Amino acid sequence: MLSSFELLEPTTVQEAAGLLERYGDEARVYAGGAELILLMRYGLVDATYLVNVKTISGLGGLVAGEDALRVGSIVTHRALELDAAVRKGWPLLAAAESHVGNIRVRSQGTLGGNLCFADPHADPPTALLVYEASVTIEGSGGSSWLPLSEFLRGTYETALQPAELLVEIEVPRLPSGWTAAFARTERFYRPTANAAVAIDLRAGAIAGARLAVGCVGPTAMRLPQLESELAGLTPAEAGRRVMDARAYLSRQLDPVDDLLGSAEYKSYIAGVLLARAIGQAAGTEGANGHG
């Protein structure tokens, strides 16, 4: 049963930060509530005050710029999945967003809530790491910027300090000519594992690659060593190389057994999903909108 709480409705980030500071552990940031209300209903989180950030209009921006997409933290998964400019310029992100849960979760849940909750079984972070996204966080002491790879610290753990808010996510475009794909396997709506890949294919050989895997270990991760080993390979050779990299994946991704799969299965499936995504990226001409 959901215990009673007071809903606070700030209209600016500074006002929200002030409320979080004043009420400390008694207050929680409330965005879409897809996770928070569920946890409160199960008695896993207790809050006297919910600070509703959806009343802060400054957090709702979605701007596709020349170099980067700027996503306000309260933008929903559904908005990102459907937005024409996102689908054209950041198709890997739109693809990852289209996989999240179901239409109810995508309409309710926000990208900011997804990143702040830091559930290891998430889709957007895997795609965002391939774009080398960064985040802006803000508290009453001011704002700071950091790469998403540093924001995501571990299972349900981020770089956010008490009374700080995630304000914006900046998603650079992929370099011109790169193509990308997202692959996922799932159970009960949530991803068991996922992979995001972007490649620069020149005359049939890979000239550059970015690979990320999510849901296998505590947080989504890029795989820099494997990325560099793909240089000069055809997509088919690259697919075999990632499938053969099970020991590296197992070491790098720190896989854990959980309800969605054993560590051994997840290391194996990570290679399969990477190979599948490489094949798809190689076959999807213009997948990042630059042709």
Site string for ligand FAD, 191-220 (x = CB under 6 A): x-----------------------------
Amino acid occupying residue 131: Y
Can you state the percent helix, strand and coil of the chain, rounding each to 5?
40, 30, 30
Answer for which of 10, 17, 27, 32 binds ligand FAD (CB under 6 A) is 32
Answer for which of 36, 148, 277, 287 binds ligand FAD (CB under 6 A) is 36
Quickly tell me which residue has 């193509």 as its tokens. 179
- Please, which residue, 80 or 242, has the CB nearer to ligand FAD? 80
Shortest approach of ligand FAD to residue 60 CB, angstroms? 11
Contacting ligand FAD within 85-124 (CB under 6 A): 99-101, 105, 108-110, 112-114, 116-117, 119, 122-124
Helix ranges restricted to H, the chain: 13-23, 36-41, 77-82, 84-89, 91-99, 103-108, 111-117, 124-130, 148-151, 224-229, 235-244, 246-253, 263-283
Answer for which of 27, 31, 129, 278 binds ligand FAD (CB under 6 A) is 31
State how far the alpha carbon of 247 is from the alpha carbons of 49, 242, 264, in Å.
47, 10, 10
What span, in angstroms and rounded, lies between the C-alpha atoms of 176 and 57?
Answer: 33
Can you give the binding site for ligand FAD, defined by CB under 6 A? 28-36, 38, 53, 73, 77, 99-101, 105, 108-110, 112-114, 116-117, 119, 122-124, 160, 165-166, 189-191
